[in-house]
Amino acid sequence: MQTIPVDVGRLGALMCVVPPEPRVNKETGEVRKDRDGNTIYVVGISVRQRDNRRADVIEVAVPSEPRGIAEGTRVHVADLVAVAWEIDGRKGTSFRASAVTPDGVSAVGGVAPARAKSPGGEG
């Protein structure tokens, strides 16, 4: 699998559109864990491109339950990576991060770095 770091500073507005929930194995119903035994949570995040109205939704997996995130919350995503995968002839891209926090709050509990505002005033 190829892992590609994503520069979130170049993205437009990031907003939670699907609140965090544990990732579940669809076949067994078991909650998925990472190598360290932490429950993996997924968050649906809308990513609006800076220079136009187009938005996409990505599902971001994180190794612990994001706190203070609800539908409509602007968020900060720490250490976002895209992972190219292939299973049984199917290909895709998944996204992982070390944390998803409410915008203005860092993953270690401090203040997250401010993102530059777009010319339209949204950021």
This prediction has a pTM of: 0.80
| Cβ partners under 8 Å of residue 48, min gap 6 | 12, 13, 15, 54, 55, 122
* 40 neighbors 65 (Cβ within 8 angstroms): no
Contact 69, 86 (CB under 8 A): no
Cα(121)–Cα(123) distance, rounded to whole angstroms? 6
| Neighbouring C-beta atoms of residue 8, cutoff 10 Å | 16
pLDDT in tens, 24-77: 999 999 999 999 999 999 999 999 877 878 889 999 999 999 999 999 999 999
